[in-house]
Structure 1
Amino acid sequence: MTKVIAAINMTLDGYCDHTGGIADEALHEHYSQLIRHGGAILYGSVTYRLMQYWQDLIHKPTGNKSIDDFALAIDNIPKIVFSKSLNTLDWDTAKLASSSIKTEISRLKKEMDRDILIGSPSLIIQSMKLGLVDELQLCVHPVILGSGLPLFKDITNRTLLKLLKTKTLPSGAIILYYAPN
């Protein structure tokens, strides 16, 4: 059965900042595996623009296996981008969403036999509010950032989650796997 998996990195104090975590080999390997098993990944325009960094590494690999493997995984997975500011996308495996997140996820669940990933903070929150998330994967880094974008700032109702499992990375980052309760 196709699951909707919301996966994101965050600091111990709850901020989502791509520069705030510990991007080591184990983290890249974890996300490469997740992405290779996914059928599509959903992004907002800000995260999409950040992820375009990886396109350059396809043509100019770093020589670091975990980084280059992640670049290849992110390049290959179909990306659906929700944006009011972008009219075109310059990534062959990306397309603009043509409908609401609820409609897109419903369509993808009918069409795909692989998991649907959500990788943008705003889309994670929207999907959670709509009850569309089957699994929430929070990679909590042992970093206190002090400021930034708080992941759950727009959640106004108490939300109970069931812990499914944990995975500890050598950096001390812990991936918490939750399901809605």
Structure 2
Amino acid sequence: MRRLHYGMNVSADGYIAAPGDDLGWSEPSDALFQWWLDEERAISLFLYGRRLWETMSSYWPTGDRRPGATPAEIEFARNWRDTPKVVFSSTVAEVDWNTRVVTGDAVAEITRLKAEDGGPMRVGGAAIAAAAMRSGLVDEFAIVTHPVLLGGGTPFFTRLDSRVRLDLVETRTFPGGVVLTRYETRR
């Protein structure tokens, strides 16, 4: 059975995007970018909602060919293109870069994918992650907290119907006061 991970850069007040879907507040240090690269290399399938898909696919298909791209950015772009992806959307018609679109029930599809043999999956995007959280499908949370208050925007966590117990499995501090806390869902 596959594991499902959910991890994002988060403001200190719990948002993954500022109002207007602004992500400019979370510039990663080289050490943090390398950590994200190492995490992404371990993932065998990315699960995206439409908005995060549009953000990622607008940059990473050619991220390795951009002037000044670092070795880590080059590797991230190559890994992103090569890793299979699923986009959950009723409006995205065309995809590329080892990707397929699912227009039906996201929770049913994630449940089916989790039941398969294979490496871990990462869910990204607030709406799709919220559906996975409410359904008890997320096995691991990586919360990368940046020292900034946004005052609103898109929250990392969704409203849940019941309590979810977590076990702390890792903490780490990165340059600039960024702190990783990684938890596993207690089953």
Structure-2-length-normalised TM-score = 0.86
CA distance in 2, matches of 1:100, 1:162: 29
Please report how far the alpha carbon of residue 25 of structure 1 lies from its aligned counterpart in structure 2 after TM superposition: 1.3
Q: Does residue 1:80 correspond to 2:86, yes or no?
A: yes
**What whole-Å deviation, never above 9, does each CA across 1:64-103 have from its counterpart, x for those lacking one?**
12222222222221110001211221x2211102542233
- Of all paired residues, the percent bearing the same amino acid is 28
50-59 vs 10-19, which deviates more?
A: 50-59
Please report how far the alpha carbon of residue 63 of structure 1 lies from its aligned counterpart in structure 2 after TM superposition: 3.3
Contact 2:64 2:73 survives alignment (8 Å): no
Q: Does residue 1:15 correspond to 2:22, yes or no?
A: no
3-state SS in 2 of match to 1:38: coil
**CA distance change for structure 1 residues 153 and 111 in 2, over 3 Å: closer, same or farther?**
closer
Structure-1-length-normalised TM-score = 0.88
TM-align CA RMSD: 1.9
- Residue of 104, 127, 142 corresponding to 1:137: 142
CA distance in 2, matches of 1:59, 1:97: 29
AA aligned opposite 2:84: P
CA distance in 2, matches of 1:19, 1:110: 36
* Number of corresponding residues: 180
**What whole-Å deviation, never above 9, does each CA across 1:122-179 have from its counterpart, x for those lacking one?**
1211111101011111111111122321222533544332212212212321111112
Contact 1:22 1:171 survives alignment (8 Å): no
Q: In structure 1, what is the equivalent of residue 35 of structure 2?
A: 30
CA distance in 2, matches of 1:107, 1:152: 23
- Residue of 107, 111, 124 corresponding to 1:106: 111
CA distance in 2, matches of 1:98, 1:68: 31
CA distance in 1, matches of 2:176, 2:80: 22
CA distance in 2, matches of 1:61, 1:114: 33
